[in-house]
Amino acid sequence: MQAQTTADFARSRRSSLIAAIFLMATSAIGPGFITQTATFTATMGAAFAFGILASILIDFVVQLNVWRIVTLTRMRASDIANAAIPGSGYLLAVLVIFGGLVFNVGNIAGAGLGLNALMGLDPKWGGALSALVAIGIFLSKRAGIAVDRLIVVLGVLMILLTLFVAIASNPPLGDALRQTVWPDEINFAIITTIVGGTVGGYITYAGAHRLLDRGLVGEEHIREVTKAALSGIAVTGLMRYVLFLAILGVAASGVVIDISGKGANPAAQAFQAAAGELGLRTFGLVLWAAAITSVIGAAYTSMSFITAFMPGISERGRNIATVAFIAVSLAIYVALGTAPAALLLFAGGFNGLILPIGLSIFVYVGWRRSDLMGGYHYPRWLLVLGALTCLLTWYMAAKSVGPILAFVNL
């Protein structure tokens, strides 16, 4: 009996770690990232590979710091912030929840675009249907298990389908590899936008809060948490680069990808050019998978911050709040009538402005508040990387304001 209990615990722990990895990865590879990648690859060509590398390196530093501190303190990010700098947790919670709402409107828009490409369904109806699917998951009595399984399945599906198109498009791999480290041009505004859309806002805390909810906390789990964070970054980085190669192959073949106007859907054009009608349907499935997992990730993580204002809320209560969050996101999407691509670009950029605020607080905790981590001696190398990345993200946020505002005028 003891052996069975131990085996069940190990299985449950492994399942939780895998779910946290894919929750982080699929949140970071949402429809916003797909749209941005298609748009910027069409603009910059192989030189955009450097932007992909920059986003992965920043992701590496941010996630290692956040996952480690959240699991060591056994507290949510807003509670950590309040304990370190009184009142800052409320500010962080408001920013993340609002940023998550903006992102989720874009995610629902992306889900609508995905079903439009997959089945020809009107984007607004597709967005509404996808939002109802996400609501159904959270109304389930076994919501936690359902979320874990769905995110892993769809995450794997996203990688396989995009890999298929990347091979079919036959990208100039040598040029892409060279420009990953030695680009012909560097566009800081574009790099800022892609970083904001992949590690900004709620995405920063998605996997860490999932581990906290599953009880994988304390110094005794630090090795597993670090391994999970690194695995999540690897999955995310792989997906980003494969998607970039898929679109680069199309752009390099001479196909003109239309990125102008509110009705443009550059990623769909790239997939269709690479593999015809099958490519278009494949893109629809990939985009829908990215969007629905991002709807779940944004809603789940955003509502995990509600404990800053309602510390006694139950898990069931948080699930109900999550359902309401998705419903409000859907209502805003239907009411706005804004072009989905513009929403997706704006949402990523806006959340990039939130990233340095939370990261600054976490770097301060690692530097000065070891008492919150049970006296844990924080690694100096990780702290130095965190501080440098913090300064970089503040600089990028300042550079992003103009381009972010411009997105809503597309």
Please indicate whether residue 256 or residue 323 has the higher confidence score (pLDDT): 323
Do the beta carbons of residue 134 and residue 292 sit within 8 Å?
A: yes
Confidence band for 327, pLDDT divided at 50, 70 and 90 = very high
What does the pLDDT look like over 267-277, one tens digit per residue? 777 777 777 78
pLDDT for residue 71: 87
The residue among 68 and 231 whose pLDDT is bigger is 68
| pLDDT number for residue 56 | 85
- Exposure string of 272-294, with b = 16+ CB inside 10 Å and e = fewer, is bbbbeeebbbbbbbbbbbbbbbb
Q: What integer pLDDT is reported at residue 178 of this predicted model?
A: 93
Q: Which of 205, 293, 325 lies closest to 317, judged by CA?
A: 325
pLDDT, position 90: 92
Contact 78, 308 (CB under 8 A): yes
Q: Are 389 and 355 contacting, i.e. CB atoms less than 8 angstroms apart?
A: no
Predicted confidence band of residue 5 (pLDDT cuts 50, 70, 90): low
pLDDT of residue 361: 92
Q: Name 222's Cβ contacts closer than 8 Å, sequence gap at least 6.
A: 68, 71, 72
Burial of 391 per CB tally in 10 Å (0-12, 13-18, 19+): middle
CA gap 402, 404 in Å, rounded: 5
Identify the pLDDT of residue 146: 63
Q: Can you tell me the distance from the alpha carbon of 237 to that of 55, in angstroms, rounded to the nearest whole number?
A: 9
Mean pLDDT is lowest, of 86-100, 242-256, 299-313, 331-345, for 331-345
Mean of the per-residue pLDDT values for the chain? 79
Give yes or no for a contact between 100 and 202, defined as CB atoms under 8 angstroms apart. yes
Taking the model in full, what pTM does it have?
Answer: 0.79
Q: Is 338 helix (H, G, I), strand (E, B) or coil?
A: coil
Q: Is the pLDDT of residue 4 over 60?
A: no
Q: Is the pLDDT reported for residue 295 higher than 90?
A: no
Instruction: Specify the pLDDT at position 247.
Output: 84
- Mind listing the pLDDT tens digit for each residue in 165-220? 788 778 888 999 999 988 888 777 777 777 776 777 777 787 778 778 777 777 87
* pLDDT tier for residue 155 given thresholds of 50, 70 and 90: low
H or E element that contains 135: helix 123-139
Q: How large is the average pLDDT for residues 323-343?
A: 80
- Residue 365's pLDDT is 92
Domains of the chain by start residue, with CATH: 13-407 (1.20.1740.10)
Q: Distance between CA 4 and CA 196 in Å, rounded?
A: 44
Q: According to the model, what pLDDT value does residue 13 have?
A: 59
Q: What is the pLDDT of residue 378?
A: 87
Number of residues assigned to the chain: 410
pLDDT, position 20: 59
Structure-block tokens of residue 278 = 């099958």
Mean pLDDT computed over 71-97:
90
Task: Tell me which amino acid residue 66 is.
Answer: V
Q: How far is CA 261 from the centre of its chain?
A: 25
Please give the C-alpha separations between residue 281 and each of 117, 222, 255, 266, 276, in angstroms, as whole numbers: 6, 42, 19, 14, 9
Q: Average the pLDDT over each of 107-116, 253-262, 275-284 and give the range with the smallest value.
A: 253-262
Look at 182 and 282; give whichever has higher pLDDT: 182
> Burial of 91 by CB count in 10 Å (0-12 exposed, 13-18 middle, 19+ buried)?
middle
Say what the pLDDT of residue 385 is: 94
Is residue 384 predicted with pLDDT exceeding 90? yes
What values do phi and psi take at 186, rounded to 5?
-125, 120
Longest dimension (CA), the chain: 64
Query: Which of the two residues, 145 and 287, has the higher pLDDT score?
Result: 287
Say what the pLDDT of residue 322 is. Answer: 86
Which residue in 228, 191, 235, 242 sits closest to 348, CA to CA?
191
Asked if 88 contacts 82 with a C-beta cutoff of 8 angstroms, the reply is yes
Q: What integer pLDDT is reported at residue 341 of this predicted model?
A: 63
The mean-pLDDT minimum among 22-26, 117-121, 166-170 falls in 22-26
Residue 362 has pLDDT above 70, yes or no: yes
Strand, helix or coil for residue 346: helix
